[in-house]
Structures are given as structure tokens and as C-alpha cells.
Chain A
Amino acid sequence: MDQEIYYDNSATTRVRDEAAQLMLEMLCQCYGNPSSLHSKGFEAQQRMEKARKQVAASLGCDPSCIYFTSGGTESDVLALLGGSEAMKRRGDHIITTAIEHDAVLHTCKHLEELGWRVTYLKPDSQGNISVEQVLEAMEDKTVLVSIMAVNNEVGSILPVGEIAKAIRRKNPNTQIHCDCVQAYGKQPLKVGKNLDVDFLTVSGHKIYGPKGVGTLYVRKGAKIKPVLFGGGQEKDLRPGTENIAAICGMGLAAELICDEMKENEAHVAAIKNSLLEGLKKIPEVCIISPENATPYILNISVPGIRSEIMLHFMEEQGIYLSSGSACAKGGPSHVLSAMGLDRSIGDSALRLSFGRYNRPEEVPVFLEALQTAILRFKR
């Protein structure tokens, strides 16, 4: 094996050269503090505002709605804590799903400790949530609904656009948050149009940008309070000297990935399909991802071979993949449990996630390695 096969693009991606180059320039030349009054600071601010425009354009919103944060987790936490705090006089109920990222689920647990009531919607066996489920769970006192666009473990695409529309009709006072970390740059997301939400989370490092940066879209007029306090940056919603190198890297990555969306999708879909074709010929493999899942994620299982063993065997062959999500080391996956999957399948789950740097030639290499592993470990 002379070249690595990186099938873990939903955990993180390689930073693309254009972004890395720009970041180097921002770190070493255009290093001013955007808050400084001199020209060095002004120049940095200009560059940052360009990045803000790039992200705004990708979501079809005004740049003033984009707030830079330290990443997906912070954006989720800010939307949930800040969004609920601003609405606490209007109600005490939050709705989310059992298959959210831990950044949302653990924040909800914290909110429960603070006295909020939280409903966790259970997905169907395909990892999906229906509009009706959400409407049914809504109460007069529901002030916030947080639902992800694409599940990070199995790749199910949730009907967030429809859900948002229905929520607006039923209770215009309920604010809506959508975690789009796995959807952004992979499917068209136009806030206010096909996705009428109040808050929307995006992460930099899943789109060939750097780690340590993300954005929260906040609809004009949406009610939110800060959770950090400081020197007034990001209109006081997210103070702290801006991480301009990462912000600019993310801005460029956002612009580029949105231009390439169709092309990328065709590329990964071809890879996923040829993988699926091969996998169907291996009787030991079962496919966990639903048929209409995102082409970027494929969750499979080889019952009887624990995920970690397979993962370590694969890494020896230079093949990188994930057991469940990369963030949840050890322990059974909450997503697969919520989908009602048998433990024997869940304990052996493997998540393959694809990106623009994967090549079709990798597919047979992976399939062969998988078969070797099955021969060796399956008894």
C-alpha cells in the first residue's frame, strides 16, 4: 500500500492548498488585530469581512447575519444557550432529536439541569425524523427547536426545510436552530428560502478549511444572548480577538466548495455507489445507512468483528475510517441505539465518509482489505 485511503472526511478534512496558503499569509503578513485603529488592523478587518461575505454568499444571506466562532460545537452551544436564554420569559420547552451531535445533546442536558424541559424525538429505523413528529411535540411553551440537516453517523438527510416551514406556520414565536455541519457545502442551503431557520451552524474543517473556526448564522431579528463576554467583537455576540487566519481560510474554502458542490457530489456518489456494489457481494456486510442518505457518508457493519479491531486492522493497511463518529470514542453509538439497531450490529459499525480527494481506484483496494479482515477475524 503506497498511498493512504482517507475515508474519514466527516471527522475532518485535509485543508486545501488555497486555504492553507491564504492562512500562511494571514499569519505572517496580514497579522493585524481587526480592532486596531491603524492601517494594519484595518487591512485585517477588510480581509475578515471578505470571508464573512464569502460565507454569507454560500448561505444566501446578508453578511451581517454571519458570526464567527471557534467551530461547530461553539456555534451549537451559542445557539442553544443564547437562544433559550433570550426566550426564557416566553416558555420553558425545547425540542431536539435523539440523533444530534453531542454538542447539542450535552447542551440540552445542561439546559435540563437549569430547569428547561427537553423533548428528544426518536428517529425511525432509517435515522429520519418526520414533520408530523415535530409538530406533535410542539407546545405553546416551545421556544426552540434544534434539528440537524444531515446525521453525522449514518448520513440520513432530515427534512429540515419542511420542518422549519411547518414550525413557522404552527408557532411563529418558536425559534429554529439547524446544525448543518455535515450538510454545508454538500447540499444547497439557502436560509430564508429552502431553509427558513433562525440559527444555523457551520464548521470550517469539514469543508477543507482549518479547524478552530466555524460560524453561526443568526437571522436578523432572531432573539439570542451572548454566552461569552468581552471586548465587543462580532457585535458583542461572540467577543474575543478574531482568529483571522482561520476565518479567512474558512471563507475561501466555503466559496470554493460551493462552486464545486455539483462536481463533488457526482464524484463521491460514484465512489459510494461502486463501494455499495462491491459490498453487496460480501454476505458478511450489512449496510446501515439508509438508501436515500447523503452520498458523503456510508455506515456499514460486519457483525462479529468489533469496530475497533477493524479500524486498527485497516489503519495498518493505510486505510482510515471511523467507528461511529470520531468524537465518541468508546461506548455504543447513541445514534444507532436510537435507530433501534441490534447491539451486535452497532458494536461493529464502521463509518466511511468521502471527499473530493478520494479516488475511484481506492474502492477495490478497500474492498480487498475488508475481505481480508473478514477472513482473518470472523469466526
Chain B
Amino acid sequence: MNEIILLKNGEIALKGLNRSVFEDKLINNARRRLTDLGKFGFRKAQSTIYVEPKEENIDLDEAVERLQKVYGIIALTKAAVVEKDFEAIKHTAVTYLKDELLEAKTFKVDAKRSDKSFPLKSPQICAELGGYILENFPHLTVDVHNPDVTVVVEVRDFAAYIHGKQLPGAGGIPVGSGGRALLLLSGGIDSPVAGAMMAKRGLEVFAIHFASPPYTSERAKQKVISLAEKMTAYCGRINLFVVPFTEIQEHIRDDCPEELFTIIMRRYMMRIACRIARQSDCEALVTGESVGQVASQTIQAMNCTDAVADMPVLRPVVGMDKEEIVQIAHKIDTFETSILPYEDCCTVFTPKHPKTKPVMKFVEQAEAVMDMEGLIQRAVNNTETIKINR
């Protein structure tokens, strides 16, 4: 018996004339995520995408698991492929769904017939197949409103498909269908979550990380690479830009008032991120800031940082509690990596009492003494690009 995977695309189905653009993006993303498992064929019909293995011995369960992390899919299931013969459909249904039916108490049959040449009409399929299932599983009763198992039969042009319970997909819209954004990836818990959330809304995510050796270690950078690798399960390919930040931090330390270290540093990060974003066709920045979480994440501080950004700064977790963010971090499997203890091992640049409500005028005055353009230019020029692909 042959098996395929059916993908139900959720929100995309509501799109108008450009729907096929979204669907093609989704198919592209799904195909890329499965390449190393073997060859697959993709076909779209109505709001379903048919993923058909084109080789023997492909690990379909692994494929399902991966596709559950592809944004743009609301639900998915493996299905049995049967020839369009009712006897064959009957037998396949009770063998293919045996385990599910044994566990259930109630069921119903749902039939879709797009091949109108098939002799039985949909209600007839339901009735006949329902009867046959009852014969084989006498413990079951029919419940058309709230069944434990829905046996779905789809009679299509080339074949009939049978499946039971659907698995939840990741939802959202296909990564890349909404353009590209640059994520400030620190190594903490929040930024990977922010990145995944924006990917869910269709943005392709690139990431930027600021490294300050020797104040931060090679292990800290490796940790950020690991985080980006984990994120690819949801976000697809990621270009990670690692910016050398030591010189700027040392200048801030030497030239600026201590209580403004953090805000001035954040402003430099924004400026550099905007330049790298322009160079790599990103149209927005994404950060993992949440209002009130730490001293630099107040709305006054955000005012000061956004003033130097010349593109939108998206903060998807801005109104979330730490607990809620942690929950998502667990779900996208970045939590364990995020809490590795390599993050900024130093406290040299953390002021004892940072300004929680920085005043723009003073911040600008403090910055004025620095050779801002030179510092930024050197950091941008020496930025390392790491292509993270899975």
C-alpha cells in the first residue's frame, strides 16, 4: 500500500487572486525542508497539498514531523492511496485505520468525490463504508457531530485517499511570502521566540549577533549559531551576521557616562542592524524585547533606540510575560540552548544603575563625542556572514 501526506493550508485558502503565490511558496518551503529525506512530488488541489514520496523507503513519519513545523499548514495527515474501486477502499479503510478505530468509541465517515465518474455518490460512500466498519468493529457507534475518529475518503482524479485523524500544523503563513526581516539574536530566551513568531507571519528571518571578544567567548558565538540552527526548523534558511562589537563597546566605556552605557550600546546595535538589513534586503528589524523586563526595555528606552532606526522595529513579544515566552521557547526547542551559561560572561559594560528612562537629549550629547561613522563602518565592514541551512 502506498502512503502520501496531505497538507491543509489554513489562512492561505482565504487569500484572493494571489493565493497560488502563497501556495507555491509553501510548496517550496516544504520541499526544501524534506530534501535530505528523499524525492517528493507536490500537487495542489482545492485547499490541499499532496506530498507524494517518489522513492522507496522514505521515512514518512520524520517527514510529517518536519512538516508540522512548516508555517502555512493548519493541519496534516498521512493517507493511504487506493485504486478507485469501492471494494479496495473498504478493505483499506479497515486495515489502514485499524488501530485508531479500535481505540475509538464513536466514528463517522466523511466522503469527498471530485471524480464524478466514480459510481457511488458521496452519501452512498458514507453509508456503505460506515456499515462495513460497524460490521468489522462492533464496539463502535456512529456519531456525526462529535466522533472520536473521522474516516475520510477522498475520491480524486488519479486515485482515492483514506485517512483518519489529522495532526495540527504550525499555522501561520508561508515563510518568505511577506518579505524579509533582520532579527537581533542575542543568545537569550526571547530573541529566538521573536524570530519564530515573525516567521509564522510569513517573514523570512535573517539574524544579526554582536560579539565582543574577549569579553564574550567563542562558546557564546557558537551558542548563537546553535540557536539559529534550531530556528531553521521553523524559519527555514537563515543568514547570520556576526558583528565585531568590541571596539564600539570599549569606546562607549571610555567616552560615555556609565548610566547611559546600555542605551547607547543599543542605539549602535540598531544603526548597524539597519545598515546590514539594507545590504541584505531586509525591510524591518525584529527584537525580543518585552516592556519592563529589564532596564533597557522600557518604552522610554525604546523611544531612544527606535529614533536611530530607519525601518520598522517589530517586537512580537513586547506584551508577553517571561513565562509565556518560555513556553514558546520550549515549543520551538530553543530553550535548552538559550539557558547555556555562556552569555555575556562579563559585567564590565553593565552599569550598576542604568537609566531606565533615558532622555534623548542627554543620550545624543553623550554620543556626540564619538567617531560614530568610523566605528559603525568598521563594524559593518568586518561583519562575518554565516549561512545556516538545514
Query: Chain A residues in contact with chain B, CB under 8 A?
Result: 306, 308-316, 329-330, 377, 379
- In the complex, the chain A residue whose C-beta lies closest to that of B215 is A309
Candidates A315, A329, A330; contact of B214 at CB < 8 Å:
A315
User: How far is A379 from B253 in the complex, measured between Cα atoms in Å?
Assistant: 10
Q: Is the CB of B341 within 8 A of A309?
A: no
From residue 197 to 255 of chain B, which have CB atoms closer than 8 A to chain A?
A: 213-218, 253
Residues of B within 8 A of A312 (CB): 213-218, 345
Q: Is the CB of B341 within 8 A of A308?
A: no
CB distance from A330 to the nearest CB of B (A): 5
User: How far is A316 from B347 in the complex, measured between Cα atoms in Å?
Assistant: 20
- In the complex, the chain B residue whose C-beta lies closest to that of A317 is B214
CB distance from A135 to the nearest CB of B (A): 41
CB distance from A242 to the nearest CB of B (A): 34
Q: Answer yes or no: B386 CB below 8 A from chain A CBs.
A: no
Q: Is the CB of B214 within 8 A of A313?
A: yes
CB distance from A115 to the nearest CB of B (A): 33
Candidates B213, B345, B346, B348; contact of A316 at CB < 8 Å:
B213
Given A310-B214, A312-B216, A314-B214, 11 more pairs with CB closer than 8 A: A306-B347, A308-B217, A308-B345, A308-B346, A309-B214, A309-B348, A315-B214, A316-B214, A329-B341, A330-B345, A379-B253
Residues of A within 8 A of B341 (CB): 329-330
Residues of A within 8 A of B216 (CB): 312
- In the complex, the chain A residue whose C-beta lies closest to that of B344 is A308
Q: Interface size (B, Cβ < 8 Å)? A: 12
CB distance from B254 to the nearest CB of A (A): 8
Most buried by A among B213, B214, B218, B348: B214
A329-B341, A330-B341 given; A306·B348 CB < 8 A? yes
Residues of A within 8 A of B348 (CB): 306, 309, 377
User: How far is A313 from B346 in the complex, measured between Cα atoms in Å?
Assistant: 12
CB distance from A165 to the nearest CB of B (A): 43
Residues of A within 8 A of B215 (CB): 309, 312
User: How far is A330 from B24 in the complex, measured between Cα atoms in Å?
Assistant: 49
A329-B341, A330-B341 given; A306·B346 CB < 8 A? yes
- In the complex, the chain A residue whose C-beta lies closest to that of B214 is A312
Nearest first, the 3 closest Cβ-Cβ pairs linking A and B are A312-B214, A313-B214, A308-B345
User: How far is A316 from B215 in the complex, measured between Cα atoms in Å?
Assistant: 11
User: How far is A149 from B253 in the complex, measured between Cα atoms in Å?
Assistant: 45
Binary per-residue interface labels of chain B (125-161) against chain A in the complex, 1 for a CB within 8 Å, 0 otherwise:
0000000000000000000000000000000000000
User: How far is A308 from B212 in the complex, measured between Cα atoms in Å?
Assistant: 13
Residues of B within 8 A of A316 (CB): 213-214
User: How far is A326 from B345 in the complex, measured between Cα atoms in Å?
Assistant: 16
CB distance from B74 to the nearest CB of A (A): 43
CB distance from A108 to the nearest CB of B (A): 24
- In the complex, the chain B residue whose C-beta lies closest to that of A347 is B347
CB distance from A375 to the nearest CB of B (A): 13
CB distance from B339 to the nearest CB of A (A): 12
Residues of B within 8 A of A314 (CB): 214
User: How far is A309 from B346 in the complex, measured between Cα atoms in Å?
Assistant: 7
Residues of B within 8 A of A309 (CB): 214-215, 345-346, 348
27 contacts between A and B (CB under 8 A): A306-B345, A306-B348, A308-B217, A308-B345, A308-B346, A309-B214, A309-B215, A309-B345, A309-B346, A309-B348, A310-B214, A311-B214, A312-B213, A312-B214, A312-B215, A312-B218, A313-B214, A314-B214, A315-B214, A315-B218, A316-B213, A316-B214, A329-B341, A330-B341, A330-B345, A377-B348, A379-B253
